[in-house]
Amino acid sequence: MTRRTTVRIAMNGVTGRMGYRQHLVRSILALREQGGLDLGDGTVLWPEPVLLGRREHALREIAARHGLEHVSTDLDAVLADPDVDIYFDAQVTAAREEALRKAIAAGKHVYTEKPTATGLAGALELARLAREKGVRHGVVQDKLFLPGLLKLKRLVDGGFFGRVLSVRGEFGYWVFEGDWQRAQRPSWNYRAEDGGGIVVDMFPHWEYVLHELFGRVTSVQALTATHVPRRWDEHGRPYTATADDAAYGLFELDGGVVAQINSSWAVRVHRDELVEFQVDGTQGSAVAGLRDCRVQHRSATPKPVWNPDVPATERFRDQWQQVPDNGEFKNGFKAQWELFLQHVHTGAPYRWDLLAGARGVQLAELGLKSAVEGRRQTVPEIAL
């Protein structure tokens, strides 16, 4: 006989783009649409979101749109509610650490976007507090669940590359300044005083992608830039961008792998996807994006000859082979939500915790330090 168990989730920040689209609609509401999460032991988890934030009218509009009941602008009251099991945070970065501290102190399991804090000390403190309180905790590391990177992980695990030599990543797109076309990112992303900047935003992603697929990051050297110093906010008012909008990073990994990743909100896209990683190894190479992954094995590698005096006759992209799906891929955010909910209710293993989140904060912090000092920074191992 199936037992339905309600899990009440306080969701803070669902009026923002990521909190609303990916976490509320495409994850939690999608779970409800499929009838809940089947844990495989006769139990079905039914997620009941409590919409939390500062703008009550916006929360109520979302609740009415999706037929939800619970809305609040009082974080303390929600955390004091014994029926709330999990606190989720998708707020702006500057507000996240304090809210997570309160949730942990209230004994709630916590699941959060990244970065988890504005500095390594705060991120490690959150992990320590959660461990001492005995609550379960997780950090969103959504890129690992994308079809393209799942295929890339399959290649790594299958030994396709032989010895991995290097990783080259390109991420970014043109974010409009906001004057003649509305910007597609919020203005706080470009104000360092509000927790903005592409290093703070993207280096935590690069940390877990590199760590999970190729090895721990042991050093970082970064150059940052604010290529577009003047932007216009959501109300059409001009402001000075104080945060970096581009970062050019060089990372050394355990085992000698070298990674180069360019991140920019001031670049126009001339590639197949908004992010692509090229991995080169002794036995083969691959190029992976959000969804697709293409490979070229050692045995099928052509022999190009450099000759600038004649037009190129080879269509280099045509010389690569698509990696098949070999299965269905879920929305990456929903897939990780399912794993975290299973972890909370069954104790299933889960490694993407607050300590993993702290590694991302550490890499961003050292990346910024490297840019200021103009030199390579060693990345020490961290532990509680």
Q: Which domains does the chain have, with CATH numbers?
A: 3-142+332-353 (3.40.50.720), 143-328+362-377 (3.30.360.10)
Please give the pLDDT value at position 311: 87
Q: What is the value of pTM for the model shown?
A: 0.95
* Single-letter code of the amino acid located at 61: E
Q: By C-alpha distance, which of 184, 187, 196 is closest to 274?
A: 184
Q: pLDDT tens, 114-164?
A: 999 999 999 999 999 999 999 999 999 999 999 999 999 999 999 999 999
Please give the pLDDT value at position 306: 86
Q: pLDDT tens, 217-236?
A: 999 999 999 999 999 999 99
Q: Is residue 172 classed as helix, strand or coil in its secondary structure?
A: strand
The overall average pLDDT reported for the chain is 96
Q: pLDDT tens, 244-276?
A: 999 999 999 999 999 999 999 999 999 999 999
- Distance between CA 229 and CA 235 in Å, rounded? 18
Q: Are the C-beta atoms of residues 335 and 145 closer than 8 Å to each other?
A: yes
